[in-house]
Amino acid sequence: MVPLMKDLFGGAAPYYARYRPDHGDQAIDHLATTFGRGSSVLDLGCGPGTVAIPLARHVREVTAVDPDEEMLAEGRQLAANVPNIRWLRGDSTMLRTFPPFDHVVMGRSFHWMDRRTVLAELDELLPPDGVVALIGPGRHGAEEPGESAMQRVREEFAMGPMTATNSFQATGEHHQDVLATSPFSDLDSTLYERRLTYDLDAVIGLQLSYSYTAPARLGDRLEAFVQAARSALLASNPSGRWEHVTVTEVLIARRAPA
């Protein structure tokens, strides 16, 4: 078993909810069509409901699970008027304790988990036509707006990217590689590209939504970090506007036909 990493996103939840780009309507529609209107979906690692909230309109119910209480609080607030989401504190080691579900989706969260164990347990829990869906940047990585300026600031503050124990960076195995050797080896990948525009607050807010520069990790250096980021970003781009192309992958994994 790979140990889970604790307290990853301290203080990041409000920034995540406001500044981390969603996955786009087309990608959510793709999930909705795959799952079907009558289905019950587990959103594992739901964060502030980035997938759960738009998906809930299209399915019978969503069980949105996350270990981070701050993320759940953001989600509950954003979805105050969405009746068919059940928010639960929990994580990928507790799959057997959740109410039954027909399909599971993981948005930018699978890399935090013991992937093989999760897939083996899902094989026991999902019905025969149950789908494992991943949604996120996929193997295309996620270079960010203002990246070179932000990289210099992160280096100045000695804030390096955190590597999840079981991620591609740590193991050399992409999610697709892990799925291909799992019970859910029938894979279908679709890419959606969007051009997004960011202002200065959005670039900095995006940075604070990441685990490795989450406000709790910066501690009393938060204000200095934000000031340094402002200066570096404006020096590199005085217009204060960034255009960035984001690629979202929807990866649908089914059990291979017998």
Ligand X SMILES: C[S@@+](CC[C@H](N)C(=O)[O-])C[C@H]1O[C@@H](n2cnc3c(N)ncnc32)[C@H](O)[C@@H]1O
Q: Rule CB under 6 A: say whether 66 interacts with ligand X.
A: yes
Q: Residue 47 is which amino acid? A: G
* Alpha-carbon distance values, 243 to 15, 27, 194 (Å): 19, 20, 10
Nearest approach in angstroms of CB 203 to ligand X is 17
Q: Rule CB under 6 A: say whether 248 interacts with ligand X.
A: no
Three-state DSSP state, 241: strand
Q: Name which of 4 and 234 has its Cβ closer to ligand X.
A: 4
Per DSSP, 45 falls in state T
Q: 14 to 33, contacts with ligand X by CB under 6 A?
A: 20
Stretch that binds ligand X, among 66-74, 76-84, 221-229, 233-241 (CB under 6 A): 66-74
Residue 169 burial class via C-beta count within 10 angstroms: exposed 0-12, middle 13-18, buried 19 and up: exposed
Stretch that binds ligand X, among 28-36, 39-47, 141-149, 226-234 (CB under 6 A): 39-47
Nearest approach in angstroms of CB 45 to ligand X is 3
Q: Are 162 and 236 in contact (CB under 8 A)?
A: no
Q: Are 53 and 25 in contact (CB under 8 A)?
A: no
Residue from 39, 63, 92, 248 in contact with ligand X (CB under 6 A): 92
List the alpha helices (DSSP H) in the chain.
13-19, 25-35, 52-56, 69-78, 115-125, 147-156, 168-171, 175-180, 200-208, 215-218, 222-236
Q: Name which of 17 and 153 has its Cβ closer to ligand X.
A: 17
Q: Rule CB under 6 A: say whether 192 interacts with ligand X.
A: no
Q: Rule CB under 6 A: say whether 130 interacts with ligand X.
A: no
Q: Rule CB under 6 A: say whether 134 interacts with ligand X.
A: no
Q: Name which of 15 and 225 has its Cβ closer to ligand X.
A: 15
In the structure encoding, which two tokens stand for residue 144, read together? 């960010």
**Positions in the binding site for ligand X (CB under 6 A):** 4, 8-9, 20, 44-47, 50-51, 66-68, 71, 91-92, 107-109, 112-113
